[in-house]
Amino acid sequence: MTLEEIATYIVSDGKGILAADESNPTCGKRFDSIGVESTEENRRDYREMLFRSEGMNGNIGGVILFDETIRQSASDGTLLRDLISDQGALPGIKVDKGLQPIEDCPGETVTVGLDGLDDRLKEYTEMGAKFTKWRAVIKIGDGIPTDECIDANMDALAQYAKSAQNNGMVPIVEPEVLMDGDHSIDDCYDATERSLKSLFKHLEKYEVNIKGTLLKPNMVTSGSEHEVQAGIDEVANKTIECLVKNVPQDLPGVAFLSGGQSDVLATAHLDAMNKIGGFSWKLSFSYGRALQAAALKAWGGKPENVFIAQDELSHRAEMNKLASLGQWEKDLEER
């Protein structure tokens, strides 16, 4: 498959992405919430359960993995990445190395991991990974985000994207403006617009093929601590407006992160955008918690709960596919 074919496939027919690339510490926090120890075997069992879910097929076009997971085998010896392929989804891999404080920019970070990236990408290509992900983090606060922070992060994102394409993998570029804080939806719009402008300027600078790239942005929302939360229609309209103004039309797809939204709210926002329409790219999902939360709780680390947990994941995957097609209705959530 070409880069363009891979990117198009992942978000075709309402499909989206299961983000299962939580680091081991993050996975540990999720497991703590259900009283399960975060051992390598338990993490393997949990992800195997997700990847074998019936609702993966036809609803999920790609799965982002963590380094540990792409190397693991299921309980029957099948490689987890092969389970994903058997479900009609493409395996992908998170390749950034986390956040580092920016000197002279208090409270701001830049994502690192360009050192040795080419060697890592070559290994992941040999393992069958078809796409990659790199996350930049932009915070809103007093006097931030600064241009220095935005440009440093978007420059790194663009360098990573070029390296991924040079190794035959589609880059997912993720400029996440965090929901954390008491900022307004207009503050979020401003930070998101500045980030997108800088991102696509840098992608052009490094001659990244936009048709073989996917964007994983935040939605334009109120800060999580803001006293008045913007409604679903306002979030949908402002997000579309921001994207239409700043995202090239030849990008194949926009797969939103959920960013701490509840699972149903993330679905409702995505559906509202697709019902409005008027854009050239596919608007889809790349959710972690918003796909997994109900399944994780139902599983609870108990083998006898696997089928119940898989049903929860399958339901959320189906709901988000409908939202990607603009065909979701709230009463479909009643089970």
Copy the structure tokens of residue 139: 């915070």
The label of the residue with tokens 């998170």 reads: 94
CB 313 within 8 A of CB 322: no
Phi then psi dihedrals of residue 200, to 5 deg: -75, -25
Of the residues 48, 174, 176, 312, which is catalytic?
174
Does residue 139 carry a catalytic annotation? no
CB 285 within 8 A of CB 256: yes
Of the residues 216, 238, 282, 321, which is catalytic?
216
Does residue 197 carry a catalytic annotation? no
How long is the chain? 335
CA torsion sign, 301 to 262 to 81 to 92? negative
Pinpoint the alpha helices (H) of 65-168: 67-70, 80-86, 117-126, 147-166
- Give per-residue burial for 36-59: e unless 16+ CB within 10 Å, then b: bebeeeebbbbbbbbbbbebbebb
Spell out where the chain has E strands. 16-20, 60-65, 90-94, 99-101, 109-111, 131-138, 170-177, 214-215, 253-256, 282-287
CB 161 within 8 A of CB 210: no
Task: Catalogue the active-site residues.
Answer: 174, 216
